[in-house]
């Protein structure tokens, strides 16, 4: 669907089942597949489904406002079994794998939790204040957030048949917004707006999407500079590399210049040849260690 060249560098899984690596992306998709089987077994509004979805308190399911706070993070789990859900999982896997490779497993997991919880908290607060009604379930909204983050970082990545990623993101978000407006679904519209905002602010807070200077770059937590992105960590660690590594592992002037460029202008400032040089240097270091 888009160029399969991997842009990131960190593919460490959480664990392995035999030879199969289970990353955050794989775990989320696997949980979605299991939810489809459970959905089929118990029926559309079965007891498990009713306990997981995020709905306003005028439904008979229970709600966050009635004390069921776990719904703020469980609503992406129940997914209805159909062909569109399978396509959604495939897109989430492809894009999520790229973002997880870029951020690393911990930060990507944190990013997904933020995409899940923050919009849910905001829409619940608006429900309490303004009395809006609605509900949301399934991975679709989280997938939109991952797509927006991917397009923000890799705006020129080509989707079939050669359409830039940012165009795909704008079209999909625009269509979802028009559908919510047409349905007069304020609940869905707020969820969508919050998801897009969290995705953009999140990818910027991690130190990526450097070209989107109009998006504020937030600090994720006081004193947590280790969360500010892989490029900053590389920049801070260059002196350490020079002082403790053997001579054949020290950073060459050319690689040092590339690290400076990434730290100042982001990964998007590198040419394809420069990316390959940096990736080759990272692979050599991993093999020696």
Statement to judge: residues 199 and 267 lie in one domain:
no
What pLDDT is attached to residue 72? 96
**For residue 129, what are the domain limits?**
15-205
What pLDDT is attached to residue 257? 74
What pLDDT is attached to residue 57? 81
Statement to judge: residues 184 and 89 lie in one domain:
yes
Residue 27 lies in a domain: yes
Residue 258 lies in a domain: yes
Phi, psi at 16, each rounded to 5°:
-125, 145
Separation CA 231–CA 23 (nearest Å): 22
Nearest C-alpha neighbor of 69 from the set 79, 59, 58, 54: 54
Statement to judge: residues 192 and 270 lie in one domain:
no
Statement to judge: residues 167 and 237 lie in one domain:
no
Residue 217 lies in a domain: no
- Full DSSP string of the chain: -B-----------SEEETTEEE-HHHHHHHHHHHHHHHHHHH-TT-HHHHHHSEE-TTSTT--GGGT-TTHHHHTTS----SHHHHHHHHHHHHHHHHHHHHH-HHHHHHHHHHHHHHHHHHHHHHHHHH----EE-SSHHHHHHHHHHHHHHSTTPEETTTEEHHHHHHHHHHHHHHHHHHTT-HHHHHHHHHHHHHHHHHHHHTT--TT-TTS----SSTT-GGGS-HHHHHHHHHHHHHHHS-GGGSPPHHHHHHHHHHHHH-GGGS-HHHHHHHHHHHHHHHHH-
Statement to judge: residues 113 and 163 lie in one domain:
yes
Domain count, the chain: 2
Q: Which of 205, 220, 244 is the last residue of a domain?
A: 205
Residue 66 near residue 57, CB atoms below 8 Å: yes
Separation CA 22–CA 8 (nearest Å): 17
Residue 159 lies in a domain: yes
What pLDDT is attached to residue 220? 63
Statement to judge: residues 39 and 136 lie in one domain:
yes
Statement to judge: residues 194 and 250 lie in one domain:
no
Buried b (16+ CB within 10 A) or exposed e, 95-125: bbbbbbbbbbbebbbbbbebbbebbbebbbe
Separation CA 13–CA 171 (nearest Å): 32
Residue ranges in the chain modelled with pLDDT below 70: 1-11, 220-251, 264-265, 268, 288-289
Separation CA 286–CA 289 (nearest Å): 5
What pLDDT is attached to residue 228? 45
Q: pLDDT tens across 172-192, in order?
A: 999 999 999 999 999 999 999
Residue 69 lies in a domain: yes
- CATH number of the domain residue 63 falls in: 1.20.1540.10
Q: Which of 150, 171, 205 is the last residue of a domain?
A: 205
What pLDDT is attached to residue 80? 92
Separation CA 236–CA 258 (nearest Å): 14
The rounded Cα 61 to chain-centroid distance in angstroms is 29
What pLDDT is attached to residue 14? 75
Q: Which of 205, 239, 274 is the last residue of a domain?
A: 205
Statement to judge: residues 28 and 70 lie in one domain:
yes
Residue 10 lies in a domain: no
Statement to judge: residues 176 and 271 lie in one domain:
no
Statement to judge: residues 179 and 86 lie in one domain:
yes
Residue 193 lies in a domain: yes
Statement to judge: residues 182 and 53 lie in one domain:
yes
Residue 147 lies in a domain: yes
Separation CA 230–CA 240 (nearest Å): 15
Statement to judge: residues 33 and 69 lie in one domain:
yes
């Amino acid at each position: 669907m888009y160029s399969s060249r991997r842009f990131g560098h960190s593919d460490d899984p959480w664990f392995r089942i035999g030879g199969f690596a289970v990353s955050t992306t794989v775990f989320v998709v696997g949980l979605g597949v299991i939810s489809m089987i459970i959905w089929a077994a118990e029926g559309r509004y079965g007891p498990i489904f009713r306990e997981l979805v995020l709905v306003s308190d005028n439904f008979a399911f229970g709600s966050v406002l009635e004390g069921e706070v776990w719904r703020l993070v469980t609503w992406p789990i129940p997914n209805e079994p159909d062909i569109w859900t399978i396509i959604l999982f495939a897109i989430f896997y492809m894009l999520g794998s790229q973002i997880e490779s870029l951020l690393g497993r911990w930060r990507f997991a944190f990013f997904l939790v933020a995409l899940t919880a923050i919009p849910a908290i905001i829409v619940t607060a608006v429900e309490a204040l303004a009395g809006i009604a609605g509900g949301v379930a399934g991975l679709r909204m989280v997938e939109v957030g991952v797509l927006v983050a991917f397009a923000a970082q890799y705006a020129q990545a080509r989707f079939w048949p050669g359409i830039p990623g940012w165009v795909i993101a704008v079209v999909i978000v625009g269509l979802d917004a028009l559908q919510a407006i047409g349905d007069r679904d304020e609940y869905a519209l707020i969820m969508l707006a919050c998801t897009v905002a969290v995705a953009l602010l999140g990818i910027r807070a991690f130190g990526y999407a450097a070209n989107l200077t109009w998006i504020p770059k937030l600090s994720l937590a006081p004193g947590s500079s280790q969360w500010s992105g892989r490029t900053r960590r590389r920049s801070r660690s260059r002196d350490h590399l020079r002082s403790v590594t053997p001579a054949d592992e020290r950073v060459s002037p050319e690689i040092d210049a590339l690290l400076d460029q990434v730290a100042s202008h982001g990964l998007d400032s590198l040419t394809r040849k420069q990316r390959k040089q940096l990736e080759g240097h990272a692979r050599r270091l991993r093999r020696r260690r």
